[in-house]
Amino acid sequence: MDSPRGFLKPLSFLGRAGGSAGSGAATSLKDRKAKRHDATGSRMNLLVDANLYILHLKDVSALGVCGLTDAPLAPDQNVILFLTDDQPVPVQIRWIRRTLIGASFFERLSDDTLQRVLRLYARSRKQG
């Protein structure tokens, strides 16, 4: 399957129930492909069809993010997430439950990038 606009194929992303998005299969925490890090209280900018929205984070991992947004989104839609103010990253919306979404990165975040993001958002949570 070719990805639109030259994006890479999205990484496999585990939904809240585990397994592939929408499978509904229960999977234990040890079977997850990446550890989720709590990011409650942090925000990232989300660019959807040339409009900027806010994603209120729930958690972040090397494979994707989960959070709340009022952006008009659909499963399999490709959008831009700003990990930091100057770092746009393409993501694919994997699942939506009302205003809670799960999005996967097209490339796994490096350990350095993930640690930088976690430090940044840990700082913003303490200040906010």
d(CA 115, CA 109): 10
The average confidence (pLDDT) of the chain is 79
**pTM of the predicted model, to two decimals?**
0.71
pLDDT band of residue 39 (cuts 50, 70, 90) is: confident
Q: Homologous superfamily of 35-127 in CATH? A: predicted glycosyltransferase like domains (2.40.10.220)
pLDDT of residue 110: 92
d(CA 115, CA 101): 22
Contacts of 44 (CB under 8 A, 6+ apart): 54, 55, 57, 65, 67, 81, 82, 83
Enumerate the domain spans of the chain: 35-127
**Residue 92 predicted with pLDDT over 50:** yes
Predicted confidence (pLDDT) per residue in 43-64, tens digit = 999 999 999 999 999 999 999 9
Q: Which residue has the higher pLDDT, 34 or 3?
A: 34
**Residue 100 predicted with pLDDT over 90:** yes
